[in-house]
Amino acid sequence: MTLQINQPEEKHHVDAWERLGWIWTLLFLLSVLVSLFFALRNDRMDPDSRRLSWLLCILLLIIHTGVVYFIRRRPDNFREYQLPLAVYVATLLAITIWLISLDDAFYFLLFTAYGQIFSLLHMRLAIPAMLILTTAVAVSQARAEGIALSWSSPFVIYYVAGSLGGIFMAFWIYAIIEQSAKRRELIKELEQTQSNLAAAERREGQLAERQRLAREIHDTLAQGFTSIVMHLEALEGALPETSEIAQRHLDMARQTARDNLMAARRVVADLRPELLEKEPLPQALERVVSSWSQETGIQARANFSGEALALHPQIEVTLLRATQEALSNIRKHAQADEVNVTLTYFGEQVMLDVQDNGIGLSRSRLNGAAGQASGASSGFGLQAMRERVAQLNGTLSIESSADEGTTLVVAIPV
């Protein structure tokens, strides 16, 4: 059973030529059907050539459908798979040249064949493929018309000039696309930087507000409750011993003041943990785990992996409170005899893993724990933990089974 909070997915920018990719598929289908239609209307085509034309066109459509499916499965990086795409283009060229040898109507296939060559292959493969197709078509046409091929022949000059013009046009279009891609990456980096700056400003503002609240609560409410308790204790000494009713109300008032004083101190500790003011996060976690193990008698270890990073104070507070809440829940529900707390630094992410070997959580208890705040002593229930992790663009997951216990994982980007 897993409870997961995911970050909002980043929207993928799609260029116009990618959005209109279906037009190339439609044009290819039309070119095959139109070529086949006019070829079959040629009375001079023998029956064997007709059947072969049908078979080759069907094969071409099947192969093209497979390539379209392949591209749709990986729209962002399909051009990285040059080997299968090169095999497809080679098959496309072979079938196209074969069909052209059967009837001149299939010259119409060249319109989409050249387009697929340059849209699927990198330039180092697209240029040779284009030259092979152009040469094969030129030789086929020259033989059909009985033209002798030589470098001085206008026929050869025409095809060479056309090929050079096509190559120049291809490089020009590729340069525009590459420049557009670089500009898009720069804009994306700028937007990400702006987003990070805005998030950092929000975190700084939240941290400053939390520290201000901690000072205000400590200097007003906590001090006020302390003063009330002292006055009530002084009043208790001044009351006659026979005033039972007054004594009872006095005890209730004093207990209420003490309870609220403890609550105020918990809020202050949650807003500004004393442990993190004295030592770094790893040492603070190790102290929390060691103290908890001594109190409960449950074997617990704190483990650390990766190179420690300087984290934002709000991230450190969240990880510390998550550890305390997880340990509190283990003591209440898990019936575990071993607990492992692991803090891992991954460079761009920090991950907290709290694992026990207890009885696990039922689905109803897991959903209930995730859906409402706990009354743990830390004042930081699972619901509050989820909300705080989500504010930091992090993820929280809880996995539980009767055989393997419960694992809580908090991952926060740094």
Q: Could you read off the pLDDT of 187-228 as tens digits, one per residue?
A: 989 988 888 888 878 877 777 776 677 666 666 676 677 777
Q: Which residues contact 174 (CB under 8 A, 6 or more apart)?
A: 123
- C-alpha distances (whole Å) from 198 to each of 8, 332, 390, 395 are 16, 40, 16, 20
- Residues 294, 263, single domain; the answer is no
Please say if the pLDDT value at position 273 is more than 80.
no
Q: Is 181 among the domain residues?
A: no
Instruction: For 152-177, write each residue's pLDDT tens digit.
Output: 677 777 778 877 877 887 788 778 87
Task: With cut-offs at 50, 70 and 90, classify the pLDDT of residue 3.
Answer: very low
Tokens linked to 224: 């006020």
**Torsions phi, psi for 124 (to 5 deg):** -65, -20
> For residues 1 and 70, what is the distance between their CA atoms, to the nearest angstrom?
33
Q: Answer yes or no: do 383 and 283 share one domain.
A: yes
Please tell me the predicted confidence (pLDDT) of residue 77: 76
Do 324 and 400 lie in one domain? The reply is yes
The CB density around residue 109, as the number of other CB atoms within 10 Å, is: 23
Residue 8 belongs to some domain of the structure? no
299 and 256 in a common domain: no
pLDDT over 60 (residue 379): no
Instruction: Read off the pTM.
Output: 0.45
Return the pLDDT at 6: 41
Last residue of a domain, one of 220, 248, 271: 271
Q: Which domain holds residue 250?
A: 196-271
Indicate if 262 and 291 belong to the same structural domain: no
Last residue of a domain, one of 271, 299, 314: 271
For residue 179 the two structure tokens come to: 């420049």
Domain match, 406 and 299 both = yes
Q: Is the pLDDT score of 86 beyond 60?
A: yes
Number of domains in the chain: 3
The CA distance from 348 to 14, in Å, is: 27
Domain boundary among 271, 287, 308: 271
Mean pLDDT for the chain overall: 80
Q: Convert 384-408 to b/e letters by CB count within 10 Å (16 or more is b).
A: bbbebbeebebbbebbbeeeebbbb
Answer whether residue 156 is part of any domain. Answer: no
pLDDT for 375 equals 37
List pLDDT tens digits, range 353-378. Answer: 999 998 887 665 555 554 443 333 33
Q: Are 353 and 279 contained in the same domain? A: yes
Q: Is residue 172 assigned to a domain? A: no
The answer to whether residues 39 and 76 belong to one domain is yes
Nearest 5°: CA angle at 64, between 62 and 67?
Answer: 115
Give me the pLDDT at residue 175, please. Answer: 83
Residue 361 in any domain: the answer is: yes
Tokens of 124: 């180092």
What is the spatial distance between Cα 140 and Cα 112, in angstroms, rounded to a whole number? 19
**Contacts with 113 (C-beta within 8 Å, 6 or more apart), sequence order:** 92, 93, 96, 133
